[in-house]
Amino acid sequence: MTTARIDKRFADLKAEGRGAFVAYVMAGDPDLATATKILAGLPAAGADLIELGFPFSDPMAEGPPIQRAAQRALAKGMTLKGVLDMVRVFRKTDQTTPIILMGYTNPLVTWGYEAFARDAGEAGVDGIIVVDTPPEEAEGLADALDAAQVSLIRLATPTSDDARLATIVRRTSGFVYYVSVAGVTGVKAANAEQVAPHVERVRKASGLPVAVGFGIRTPEMAAAIARVADAAVVGSALVDEIAEAVEMNEDVTERVLLKVSSLAKAVRGARVGQKATV
Amino acid sequence: MSSKTGALPNDYAAFPDANGRFGDFGGRYVPETLMPLVHELDAAYRAAKADPAFKTELDSFLTHYVGRPSPLYFAERLTAHFGGAKIYLKREELNHTGSHKINNCMGQILLAMRMGKTRIIAETGAGQHGVATATVCARFGLPCVVYMGAVDVERQKPNVFRMNLLGAEVRAVTSGSATLKDAMNEALRDWVTNVEDTYYLIGTAAGMHPYPEMVRDFQSVIGREVREQIMAMEGRLPDAVVACIGGGSNAIGIFHPFLADEGVKLIGVEAAGQGMETGRHAAAINGGRPGVLHGNMTYLIQDREGQIEEAHSISAGLDYPGVGPEHSWLHDVGRATYLTATDLESLDAFKLCAELEGILPAIESAHALARLGDVARDIGKDGIVVLNLSGRGDKDVATVAAHLGMEI
């Protein structure tokens, strides 16, 4: 069962007494071959879980870095089928690192929820975050994902009060993604102190691990978040590395994996000497 | 996706349902950060709708500031020219700011103030909604940011200047295709970032619930007036009502009060751009299929993968790859008919209306005028057709001149 990979990963890390580092990259950015190499290299560089963006033309919750990543991927002909093919290739060499797809509703509507959930599960996808499908619109998608045993990962945000949290955590599994700031990806900066009580609230409401993302750019910030949450997600900062490496004509894979290593190292060292908070 | 609505509803006006659905269409497909705000807006709108004081205040501003009711005018020379049904023009272009857009802006700004919001954002295509928003913001002293695609900023310079004169900040959007859909993305990004104080004043009957319903309600003043006016002038309802469709706010405003009158044909006209066969058009219903964009399930111009494609129209106001969800539903259940008009047909209609009636129509409204002859002849001599002249064309003279190969 595919969802088991997420649960096992968080259970193992809890036993180790450390938080997870989650790396976000956009499938097909800057091109399919490079993105496939990056994906394959992420676990060894220290990514405990992987969020794999699937591109959409109109990503309304993304800041400029991920908007441009989606445009680069689409310009190179990336498709949702191509995204699942990337996951299939990845699974040939890695059976343990969870992969969470992240993107927008319309490509899924186009594929059809049931067919997509089945194909994604078969490809080795463990969970999916659909940014513009809130619980109110998620019943059909949730049914399809349940049948395929793929987790529907939900977003909780600074605007989610306790009543809203109860709605959000219904039909979710794997973990909950706490959006650290009201805003788009990669613009405002996350603040671990402000985030901590919200993480606790979300944990209590969901009984699930809580990953924090949006606005984590540096190893220091990632470490601070990993002290208060179960996972720290970095996306825009990695995508920026890809963009800059392309522009400077550098080795894209090497540069982005180097950044992943420094972030992962900081997360791994974050709780040394600190008692496990979970 | 095919419609599951099947049977015709007993009461068209009973939609949307509590989840913001018109059959399969509509809904609230927004990021979680915005969901509490969308629910808050819905509750505030229900409360305002039920409050007689809100209606009194709105009606007063519509009368004394906007200049309502707008005339219903018998277009004698167009009628003679087409040789079919009697043609009436609903003169929305005579409203303050020159289009129907102000009806909705006045309603929403009063709602925003009731909600205690202190900052207004909006998207605009042609700039008509941006100007109307900047106008009400000036009137009530609220700061205003208008997002406008960089391409539209370039082709609608006079409206950018008007917005600046009214004190609004116009932010040119360069992301994506730099047109209306991208302006809407950017406005949503602003809203998701400024959740505490900001009210997003959407200009068309699209987006997430409750906007399609709310904008329709505020624009329905058009159709309610037409009913009264045509009863006074002709003693009966019209045989057909015609309007152009981008997002579809002027059309739903004039259609909605006639939904229950099955004898009144409702005809929308989408922008066929350079021709439906070229693929360079903005006709979501005629050339698209259902999908999810900007918070709602509706007909969209998109590729096989579900990526949204650029719309193409001479009219910046119709240059949008989607359409309001209620139109998608009225199309699927067959209550309304959606035709198309090309850029060139609309330019011809623009000139015809100017020469025969002394009225420069907005190039958006000219799309409806372009199908008017067909409709009037189809209805026949004893019939009555009402066309919503939703905006005035002064803003379009440079575009029209360029297409005629002239410099002004």
DSSP annotation string for chain A: -TTHHHHHHHHHHHHHT--EEEEEEETTSS-HHHHHHHHHHHHHHT-SEEEEE---S--TT--HHHHHHHHHHHHTT--HHHHHHHHHHHHHH-SSS-EEEEE-HHHHHHH-HHHHHHHHHHHT--EEEETT--GGG-HHHHHHHHHHT-EEPPEE-TT--HHHHHHHHTT--S-EEEE-SSS-TTTSPP-HHHHHHHHHHHHHHHSS-EEEESS--SHHHHHHHHHHSSEEEE-HHHHHHHHHHHHTT--HHHHHHHHHHHHHHHHHHTTTTS----
Q: Is the pLDDT of residue A2 over 50?
A: no
Same domain as B210, residue B146: yes
In total, how many domains does chain B have? 2
Q: Which residue of B has its CA nearest to A135?
A: B32
Query: If phi over 0 gives left and psi between -120 and 50 gives alpha, with beta otherwise, what is residue B303?
Result: beta
* B175·A155 Cβ contact <8 A: no
* A107·B27 Cβ contact <8 A: no
A188 band by pLDDT with thresholds 50, 70 and 90: confident
Q: What is the pLDDT of residues A127-150, one digit of tens each?
A: 999 999 999 999 999 999 999 999
Helices (H), B92-127: 101-114
Same domain as B369, residue B234: yes
* A80·B185 Cβ contact <8 A: no
Q: How far apart are CA B308 and CA A11, in angstroms?
A: 40
Last residue of a domain, one of B166, B181, B215: B215
Distances (CA, A) of A206 to A178, A199, A209, A270, B33: 12, 10, 8, 24, 18
Last residue of a domain, one of B180, B215, B250: B215
pLDDT at residue number A33: 97
pLDDT at residue number B156: 85
Q: Which of B1, B33, B305 comes nearest A182 by C-beta?
A: B33
Same domain as B109, residue B92: no
What are residue A13's DSSP bridge partners?
A: none
- Nearest residue to A54 (alpha-carbon basis) of A90, A100, A91, A21: A100
Give yes or no for B321 touching A (CB within 8 A): no
Range of the domain at B346: 68-99+221-403
pLDDT at residue number B179: 86
* A132·B291 Cβ contact <8 A: no
Edge-first strand listing for the sheet containing B144-149 = B169-173, B144-149, B119-124, B198-200
- Nearest residue to B98 (alpha-carbon basis) of B55, B156, B180, B178: B156
Residue at B198 is within a domain = yes
| Structure tokens that stand for A81 in this block | 């089928």
Give yes or no for B301 touching A (CB within 8 A): no
Range of weakest confidence among A99-103, B124-128, B281-285: B124-128
| Structure tokens that stand for A256 in this block | 């982005």
**SS3 letters across B149-188:** EHHHHHHCHHHHHHHHHCCCEEEEECCCCCCHHHHHHHHH
Residues B111-119 have a mean pLDDT of 98
Give yes or no for B308 touching A (CB within 8 A): yes
* B182·A157 Cβ contact <8 A: no
In the three-class reduction of DSSP (H, G, I as helix; E, B as strand; rest coil), residue B120 is classed as strand
Give yes or no for A114 touching B (CB within 8 A): no
Give yes or no for A162 touching B (CB within 8 A): no
Give yes or no for B2 touching A (CB within 8 A): no
Q: Which of B182, B306, B309 comes nearest A109 by C-beta?
A: B306
Residue at token pair 């979300």: A202
Q: What is the pLDDT of residues A219-240, one digit of tens each?
A: 999 999 999 999 999 999 999 9
Give yes or no for B175 touching A (CB within 8 A): yes
pLDDT at residue number B126: 81
Cα A197 from chain centroid (whole Å)? 21
| Structure tokens that stand for B115 in this block | 């909600």
A136 catalytically annotated: no
Same domain as B317, residue B385: yes
Q: Are A101 and A128 in contact (CB under 8 A)?
A: yes
Give yes or no for A58 touching B (CB within 8 A): yes
Q: Which of A57, A61, A71 comes nearest B31 by C-beta?
A: A61
pLDDT at residue number A187: 85
A62 catalytically annotated: yes
Same domain as B168, residue B89: no
Same domain as B186, residue B165: yes
Q: Is the pLDDT of residue B1 over 80?
A: no
* B292·A164 Cβ contact <8 A: no
Same domain as B135, residue B89: no
In the three-class reduction of DSSP (H, G, I as helix; E, B as strand; rest coil), residue B349 is classed as helix
B172 band by pLDDT with thresholds 50, 70 and 90: very high
pLDDT at residue number B176: 82
Q: How far apart are CA B303 and CA B308, in angstroms?
A: 7
* B35·A159 Cβ contact <8 A: yes
Q: Min CA distance, A161 vs chain B (Å)? A: 9
Q: Min CA distance, A177 vs chain B (Å)? A: 11
Q: How far apart are CA B160 and CA B398, in angstroms?
A: 14
* B189·A60 Cβ contact <8 A: yes
Do the strands A151-152 and A155-156 form a parallel or antiparallel pair, or are they unpaired?
A: unpaired
Q: Are B288 and B268 in contact (CB under 8 A)?
A: no
Same domain as B314, residue B244: yes
A4-269: CATH topology is TIM Barrel (3.20.20)
Same domain as B49, residue B177: yes
Q: Is the pLDDT of residue B4 over 50?
A: no
Give the number of A-B residue pairs with CB atoms closer than 8 Å: 123
B8 band by pLDDT with thresholds 50, 70 and 90: low
Question: What is the residue extent of each domain of chain A?
Answer: 4-269
Same domain as B231, residue B241: yes
Last residue of a domain, one of B170, B195, B215: B215
Q: What is the pLDDT of residues B214-260, one digit of tens each?
A: 999 999 999 999 999 999 999 999 999 999 999 999 999 999 999 99
Q: Is the pLDDT of residue A248 over 80?
A: yes
Same domain as B72, residue B42: no
Same domain as B189, residue B254: no
**CATH code: domain of residue B115:** 3.40.50.1100
Range of weakest confidence among A152-156, A272-276, B73-77, B134-138: A272-276
